[in-house]
Structure 1
Amino acid sequence: MEEIIEDLAPSEPVFCIDPFELRASAARFMNFPGRPLYAVKCNPHPFVLETLFDAGIRDFDVASLGEIELVESLFGKAAGQFFNNPAKTRPAIRKASELHGIRFYTADCIEEVEKILQEADLSDELIIAVRLATPGKDARYVLSTKFGASADEAARILQHVHARGVKAGISFHVGSQCLSPGAFGTAMTLAGKVARKADVPISVLNVGGGFPAPYPGDSPASLQHYFSHVIHGRQKLALAPGYMLLCEPGRSLVATSGTVLLQVVVRRGNSLYLNDGIFGTLQELGHPKESRPVRLLRNGDRPEKRPAEFKIYGPTCDSNDVLGASFTLPDDVQEGDWVEVGMMGAYSLAMRTEFNGFHASNVVRLTG
């Protein structure tokens, strides 16, 4: 990383993408007992998508027309696309169907099912998965507060989908950064109850995302432990012949592939003002429970002072531009030093802004 700073002499943040880490993560998900779909929202950079595709991830979880168009621009019809946003606009459904040939959709209410049936081209076979709400108590970010039908509602929606002559499926999401493999087993048990109550053929089972990244302070089990709960739970469901088993990894596929290099603009006591913050690539670090590995980089003398805790502020004039957790760095950190923040591949590039006139990061592809 020191060489990158020396070569670029940057004045703005630098975001580094490591293709080796992407390929290694993709290889682990090739052991999933079904089809892994990369959640494009997590990091939509074309280099990330291309590297994952070349490593065997050929299907994508897309949530908008923009993501659909991005994937098709890179891979044409060679990539599978699954429109899994439960709340879609009519023009997006119509264009996804007519222009891009998408046949797989997700809904969590009858109104959304009807919208899909009214706007999609019905000349080809559709599949509509019903999003089921799950507890999410073992996840850092609970995702069932916005999307997901209750068990009783999901059964009724499945019956409605089947009655309309469309193949039905069940999907759920246990929540982002889920540290309990058993949460997938619990969700699978709930899905089984819904399937039995609906009593219709289940052509798709989508277990969503939630597979965790190994952030500091977290000690996630291996992916195989998560997959084992999916395999065991699948055996309890009455699934239609030729059913599809899907998952939607995002964070766990790309988190370790990203590193951001930030410069110290001002040191004021034990507060550091960096050239990026929560309105840039550090958005997730505004959460007090989020931490990442950090390291001080300096041209010339090596920092040798004892470690100290520093409160971290971003560059904008918004007083909310402050990280939820401190950074531990050598006590002689000073203006002009650089800070390497690791494990930033997930949601950092995707959520950065140019608020207050601060520009987005340079993106560097590491060799590998």
Structure 2
Amino acid sequence: MLPQERPPQAPADLNRINPEIWPRTSTRVDGALTVGGVDVRDLARDHGTPLYVIDEDDVRSRMRDYATAFAGSEVHYAGKAFLCKEIVRWLQDEGLGLDVASGGELAVALSVGFPPEHITMHGNNKSTAELSRAIEVGVGHIVLDSYDEIARLGHLAAEAGKRPKVMIRVTTGVEAHTHEFIATAHDDQKFGLSLNTGAAAEAVRRVLALPQLELVGLHSHIGSQIVDTAGFEVAARRLAGLLVQIKDEHGAVLPELDLGGGYGIAYVEGDTAPDIKVLADGLREIVTNVCREAGLPVPRLTVEPGRTIVGPGGITLYEVGTVKDVEGLRSYVSVDGGMSDNVRTALYGAEYTTVLASRESRAEPMLSRLVGKHCESGDILVRDVHLPADLAPGDLVAVAATGAYCRALASNYNYLPKPAVVAVSGGASRVIVRGETEDDLLRGQL
């Protein structure tokens, strides 16, 4: 989403916790926000701020929602959204597969015994070491992204004496209505092989010419923060055309079709998120119809949700440090984190919902900009938000829907340590990713 051109209207109730935006267990108890039955004031006291908080029950329930809605299909969690050992354990408990986009993400999964046959490896420039490791451990699918990679993987597979299953990432030319930086199916970008130019068809020829690779399907990803199935239908039709071409030219019928992920969530009032059951039924119907129209057997469908599983269940907790009134414009509320723990606003204009979390207030709304402590004017967490006019240093504010792409994109800019990640459930909290210290920041330096 792009920044709003004009400030939003103040909400009728500054204390409201909208269940469409906040974690499923969120509520207010004696005025304070609680998540997973834990008061945010206790979280700040026990773990410090800034703090990433993950509602375990929320995330697990969304995993189960996908497993149920897509029964008979494959659901692979997109690990790039947020990955740690505990998330991988939850995936294994709930019966979901996993997508990884680097050797590091693969290492996280393998470190806790996640079955490699349920892992798909992505990436536009996988290294020789990453591909070798994927072959060695028996990763379920490797998604090929270039001619160079086809040749590289073929050579490595021949050396290893193994025959990995591969898919070809196809750039379908479908425009997802999203920000330029997270739209991934137009031709002029780094991912995939173009359907329009014939590169995808040529990639098929090259893979089928290598007996050491087993081509099992096509992969497509049309973007992120998508809330309807229209784009997926167009993409599926174009992929079906390629499947027909493959059948006619090579006599090969590919058994799998991966339509990627990118499903949206609600960040602010007025946002809509797709119903998972409706989404699943819609995608299955699309694939079934387009393949039958093309005279093809219906392939096994795979989807790759990430944001919709972990995004809504995460919040970030901050302590207010200063409140600075800029006469006639707004108040700047500075907190003890910033773009190092959430770069999405600075990167592509993401919007968020924020509330005073440590107490309720009936003060008048104050048009505010929630900013961090970094030495950058663009260090903005929430561009326009109404907070209570009695907000003061020491108050806690919470930003909703930060479970996806915040910790994953975190940095040490200005030498700020990355915050801890805490899971909450049943009135208890536990650290699942330790927060960094100054010693951690200095450890690699000579």
Mapped contact 1:113–1:128 kept (Cα < 8 A): no
SS at match of 1:201: coil
Mapped contact 2:84–2:108 kept (Cα < 8 A): no
Taking structure 2 as the reference length, the TM-score comes to 0.76
Mapped contact 1:138–1:179 kept (Cα < 8 A): no
Matches within 5 A, 1:326-345: 326-345=384-403
Mapped contact 1:86–1:108 kept (Cα < 8 A): yes
Runs of 4+ in structure 1 displaced over 4 angstroms? 238-243
**2:219 maps to which residue?**
171
Matches within 5 A, 1:132-151: 132-134=170-172, 135-140=174-179, 141-144=182-185, 145-151=189-195
**2:141 maps to which residue?**
104
* Cα 1:7/1:258, change in 2 over 3 Å: closer
**1:5 maps to which residue?**
41
**1:231 maps to which residue?**
284
Query: How many residue pairs get matched?
Result: 363
Structure 1, gaps ≥5 residues long: none
Select the residue among 165, 183, 188 that pairs with 2:236.
Answer: 188
**1:21 maps to which residue?**
58
* Cα 1:82/1:239, change in 2 over 3 Å: farther
Q: Following TM superposition, by how much is the alpha carbon of 1:143 offset from its aligned partner in structure 2, in angstroms? A: 1.8
SS at match of 2:232: helix
**2:343 maps to which residue?**
283
In the alignment, the residues of structure 2 paired with residue 297 and residue 87 of structure 1 have an alpha-carbon distance, to the nearest angstrom, of 43
RMSD: 2.3
SS at match of 1:229: helix
In the alignment, the residues of structure 2 paired with residue 120 and residue 232 of structure 1 have an alpha-carbon distance, to the nearest angstrom, of 36
* Cα 1:296/1:239, change in 2 over 3 Å: farther
Q: Following TM superposition, by how much is the alpha carbon of 1:149 offset from its aligned partner in structure 2, in angstroms? A: 1.6
1:321 aligns with 2:379: yes
**1:85 maps to which residue?**
123
SS at match of 2:407: helix
**1:120 maps to which residue?**
157
Q: Following TM superposition, by how much is the alpha carbon of 1:136 offset from its aligned partner in structure 2, in angstroms? A: 3.0
Matches within 5 A, 1:256-267: 256-267=312-323
Q: Following TM superposition, by how much is the alpha carbon of 1:64 offset from its aligned partner in structure 2, in angstroms? A: 1.0
1:213 aligns with 2:265: yes
* Cα 1:17/1:261, change in 2 over 3 Å: same
Task: Look up the equivalent residue of 1:222 and give its one-letter code.
Answer: D
Greater displacement, 216-225 / 353-362 = 216-225
Select the residue among 29, 37, 43 that pairs with 2:82.
Answer: 43
Mapped contact 1:87–1:107 kept (Cα < 8 A): no
In the alignment, the residues of structure 2 paired with residue 295 and residue 12 of structure 1 have an alpha-carbon distance, to the nearest angstrom, of 16
Q: Following TM superposition, by how much is the alpha carbon of 1:55 offset from its aligned partner in structure 2, in angstroms? A: 1.9
In the alignment, the residues of structure 1 paired with residue 334 and residue 153 of structure 2 have an alpha-carbon distance, to the nearest angstrom, of 48
SS at match of 1:120: helix
In the alignment, the residues of structure 1 paired with residue 415 and residue 239 of structure 2 have an alpha-carbon distance, to the nearest angstrom, of 47
* Cα 1:54/1:223, change in 2 over 3 Å: same
Mapped contact 1:264–1:334 kept (Cα < 8 A): yes
Select the residue among 152, 161, 164 that pairs with 2:207.
Answer: 161
Report % sequence identity.
23
Q: Following TM superposition, by how much is the alpha carbon of 1:242 offset from its aligned partner in structure 2, in angstroms? A: 9.6
* Cα 1:215/1:79, change in 2 over 3 Å: farther
Mapped contact 2:367–2:386 kept (Cα < 8 A): yes
Q: Following TM superposition, by how much is the alpha carbon of 1:8 offset from its aligned partner in structure 2, in angstroms? A: 4.4
**2:440 maps to which residue?**
none
Q: Following TM superposition, by how much is the alpha carbon of 1:191 offset from its aligned partner in structure 2, in angstroms? A: 0.4
Mapped contact 2:343–2:406 kept (Cα < 8 A): yes
Q: Following TM superposition, by how much is the alpha carbon of 1:241 offset from its aligned partner in structure 2, in angstroms? A: 7.3
In the alignment, the residues of structure 1 paired with residue 280 and residue 201 of structure 2 have an alpha-carbon distance, to the nearest angstrom, of 25
**2:368 maps to which residue?**
310
Structure 2, gaps ≥5 residues long: 1-32, 326-330, 427-446
Task: Look up the equivalent residue of 1:264 and give its one-letter code.
Answer: V
